[in-house]
Amino acid sequence: MDVTLNLLLLQILTGIAQGAVYALLALGLSLIFGMLNVVNFAHGAFFMVGAFLGVYFQTITGSFVLSLVITPLVVGGVGLLAERFLVRPLYGRGIDYPLLLTFGLSYVLVEAMRVIFGIEGVPSSTPAALRGAANLGFGSFPIYRLFLIGATAIVVLGLWLFIEKTRYGLIIRAGSRDPEIVRVLGIDVARVWLMVFGLGTAIAGISGVLAAPTRAVNPEMGIHVLAESFVVTVVGGMGSLPGAVVAGLLVGVVASLTSLFAPAYAELSIFVLMAVVLLVRPQGLFGKPSAMG
């Protein structure tokens, strides 16, 4: 196969755009696990709900930007309700209980979308202002995918600033490390955990909105993407936010390059990558050895 440098660069950029969605998904998943020690098996379903609501709000408002703002708020609100009334009673009972509960919750959300929007899903398209391609010097690249990369960078930067530079972020980090000390200081830890779960699900929702124009929006779309997001989370390290971002981009590039040279093995390649990483570094690239302990 004759592969030019320009084609290789375009394929890497395609992988980065694909990996941006993986990074956002894994970011929300890692945030919830890292702070609450909850493996959220409903994360893919929240992504799917975000995609559906993104298309719906864009249709009724005529604005992709408004949809991008409203959808994560709604999905995050659903996440707040799920944490308050479903997940919270299971804290302290072991990691299996919330895992099984969120697994069941994912089926509830899938069935809800089937009832509301139908089993075949809804059509989605690229916003008019973001259609076409930009000349990057080494080739033309879809404008929307460039927007996707930029939007992901903004979300990642915003989350980092919130966690590292604000009082609420400090409380969240302290609550994840030693909730008893935080309680002694008079801070409502339950409210902190509620905020974290809502924020994690809101990130899943915004990733669904961003991904909708690039893939089919149907009730089953969250199942496949959940497996991919767990691969990214494991490669980056369970609970590691920097690991989620780096691993998301890495997985996207690996899958993209594999599809160029051996398309039949593109999906398999990310699992091979995970196996290699776990053999060399069982806790993941940025994870701690005791992450699942």
Instruction: Write down the pLDDT at residue 19.
Output: 95
This prediction's pTM: 0.93
Instruction: Write down the pLDDT at residue 191.
Output: 87
Whether residue 142 is contained in a domain is answered as yes
Percent of the chain with pLDDT over 70: 97
Residue written as token pair 């929300």: 28
CATH of the domain at 75: 1.10.3470
- What burial class does residue 225 get, using C-beta atoms within 10 Å of its C-beta: 0-12 exposed, 13-18 middle, 19+ buried? buried
Output the DSSP codes for the chain.
Answer: ----HHHHHHHHHHHHHHHHHHHHHHHHHHHHHHHH----TTHHHHHHHHHHHHHHHHHHHS-HHHHHHHHHHHHHHHHHHHIIIIIGGGTTS-THHHHHHHHHHHHHHHHHHHHHH-TT-B-----GGG-SEEE-SSSEEEHHHHHHHHHHHHHHHHHHHHHHHSHHHHHHHHHHH-HHHHHHTT--HHHHHHHHHHHHHHHHHHHHHHHGGGS-B-TTHHHHHHHHHHHHHHHH-TT-HHHHHHHHHHHHHHHHHHHHH-GGGHHHHHHHHHHHHHHH-TT-SS--TTTT-
Q: Structural domain tally of the chain?
A: 1
pLDDT tens digits, 233-265: 999 998 888 999 999 999 999 999 999 999 999
Residue written as token pair 């703002």: 69
Whether residue 128 is contained in a domain is answered as yes
Whether residue 285 is contained in a domain is answered as no
pLDDT tens digits, 261-283: 999 999 899 999 999 999 999 99
pLDDT tens digits, 125-162: 899 999 999 999 989 999 999 999 999 999 999 999 99
Instruction: Write down the pLDDT at residue 157.
Output: 95
Nearest CA among 287, 258, 263, 261 for reference residue 26: 287
Does the structure show a pLDDT above 60 at 292?
no
Whether residue 255 is contained in a domain is answered as yes
Whether residue 292 is contained in a domain is answered as no
Tell me the pLDDT band of 48, cut-offs 50, 70 and 90.
very high
Domain span including residue 180: 5-280
Whether residue 289 is contained in a domain is answered as no
Q: In the predicted model, what is the mean pLDDT of the chain?
A: 91
Please give the Cα distance from 223 to 118 (Å, whole number). 17
pLDDT tens digits, 179-225: 777 777 778 888 888 999 999 999 999 999 999 999 889 999 998 89
Whether residue 290 is contained in a domain is answered as no
Tell me the pLDDT band of 293, cut-offs 50, 70 and 90.
very low
Secondary structure (H, E, C), 129-160 = HHCCEEECCCCEEEHHHHHHHHHHHHHHHHHH
Please give the Cα distance from 129 to 184 (Å, whole number). 52
pLDDT tens digits, 10-34: 999 999 999 999 999 999 999 998 8
Looking at per-residue confidence, does 192 or 109 come out higher? 109
